[in-house]
Structure 1
Amino acid sequence: MRQVLITGGGTGIGRAIAHAFADAGDAVTITGRRPDVLKEAAKSRAITCRTADVTDEAAVAALFGTPFDVVIANAGGGASGKLVKTSLADWNSTLAVNLTGTFLTFRAALPHMTTGGRLIAIASTAALKGNASVPAYTAAKHGVLGLVRAVAHDVATSGITCNAICPGFTDTPLADDAITGLMRRFDVDRDKATAMVTSGNPQNRLIAPDEVAATALFLASPEAAAINGHALSLSGGEI
């Protein structure tokens, strides 16, 4: 039975990934900052909950008292707003949770990981193109992809892989926040705001969290052993 750790596992993509691995028979641990959210995500399955902030070096290190076979750095987020309206505090907090959090997670996981191990970062299409509305988030996710590629070269001869999944807008509370924000900003209804959010996807839809989870399951499988340092765009052709 594989030991699987997912950061930010209480909601959205992280929750879907946790459920998918648990349903596949893996021993799953989810982390996050809110114990109540973690417990809610875990209650229907045998999932272990650990409260931790991925920007806290000591808290992340404490997660790895025992080794994990699959480690998925999913915790992330960030405020929207063009560059001139981005405060230094928002910039720093966005880089901390997305980029530094992934760095701390992978750095703590790797010394304990053996052949067949999998490091997976949940990045974004923002790692593959510019987005004027979220400059801090875009910069952070570009950094995540650079880190993934560097680590992939580091682990290439050890039988471990490191990859990134880059979803487009996904049907999660974060996407709902973006839709609600557009409704207020442009005084449009939900259907119009949703169409604005999904306009970058040629399939004109939101990505389902379960699609991201299925991709993570594949990258963690033996059949994906030759996939290393890859940014897998899950975006309906946006990238």
Structure 2
Amino acid sequence: MNRLIVTGASSGIGLAIARRFRRDDWSVINISRRPCPEPGVTNIPCDLAQPGAADGLADALSPWLLDRPRLCLVHNASIMQSNRVDTLGSADLRATLELNLVAPNAINRIVIPHLPPGSSILYIGSTLAEKAVPGVAGYVIAKHGLVGMMRATCQDLAGRGIHTCMICPGFTDTEQLRNLIGDNAGTLAAITGLSAFDRLIAPEEIADAVAFAAAAPVLNGALIHANLGQRER
């Protein structure tokens, strides 16, 4: 059976990805603080934001790496916080980088030696992986860095039959986004107004893009914007 290892599948895009792959009869392993509510998903509890936590996952992951089926690793866990580059504290930046960059790197070191040809490593980026908006400096920095990790993955694994790419969602209707904007109807209207479709993206739409990418080695090294098209202002 094909196997998915995904981080942060307790809610939002990660949960939608877990459900999409389960629907396609993949075995799904979630790594996150909270369990994934989708039936049939194996949960490995880990707070990836804690320094060194991801380095300790080798024992928990090893049973899922032994029989070497086709495997897809999706680095999805992320956090967006309000901060500005002129007030961004070093501790806050380190915490953001720990979850968004250091943890994926640690998981890669564990998983990559066991990947058979036909496998994939997919990164969930953001529209802000190639641009910036005010007020979320740490997130912008981290997502730009994740682009470099994806491109390094492509180059360093060339010849092994393993492909990688980054799916960059636009504004997606997730718990994290709703918590960030709160009850501010004006902010919600401004965000949806940026989309050429005048709406938020459904997490399931991103999950469909990820499922397609997992089976498409032609996308190796690609950065793919999945944002419904954005109006340029």
**Same fold (TM > 0.5):** yes
The Cα RMSD (Å) is 1.7
- Which residue of the other structure, out of 207, 216, 239, is the alignment partner of 2:201? 207
Query: Corresponding residue for 1:9?
Result: 9
Q: Is 1:133 matched with 2:135?
A: yes
Cα distance in 2 for partners of 1:63, 1:210 equals 28
Helix, strand or coil at the partner of 2:123? strand
Query: Corresponding residue for 1:20?
Result: 20
**Higher helix share goes to which structure?**
1
Cα distance in 2 for partners of 1:213, 1:219 equals 10
Deviation at 1:220, TM superposition (A): 1.0
- Which moved further from structure 2: 122-131 or 112-121? 122-131
TM-score using structure 2 length: 0.90
1:24–1:119 distance in 2 versus 1, CA, 3 Å: same
Helix, strand or coil at the partner of 2:86? helix
- Which moved further from structure 2: 128-137 or 7-16? 128-137
TM-score using structure 1 length: 0.88
Query: Corresponding residue for 1:217?
Result: 211
Percent identity reads: 32
Q: Which amino acid is 2:82 matched to? A: S
- 1:147-158 correspondence runs (5 A): 147-158=149-160
For these two proteins, the number of residue pairs brought into alignment is 223
- 1:51-70 correspondence runs (5 A): 51-55=45-49, 56-65=53-62, 66-67=64-65, 69-70=71-72
* Equivalent pair of 1:78/1:90 in contact (CA under 8 Å): no
Residues 166-185 of structure 1: CA deviation (Å, up to 9, x unaligned): 0011100111022217x2xx
Query: Corresponding residue for 2:222?
Result: 230
Unpaired runs of at least 5, structure 1 = 184-189
Cα distance in 2 for partners of 1:16, 1:84 equals 35
1:199–1:86 distance in 2 versus 1, CA, 3 Å: farther
Cα distance in 2 for partners of 1:168, 1:129 equals 12
Cα distance in 1 for partners of 2:103, 2:164 equals 15
* Equivalent pair of 1:13/1:172 in contact (CA under 8 Å): yes
Q: Which runs of 4+ in 1 moved over 6 A?
A: none
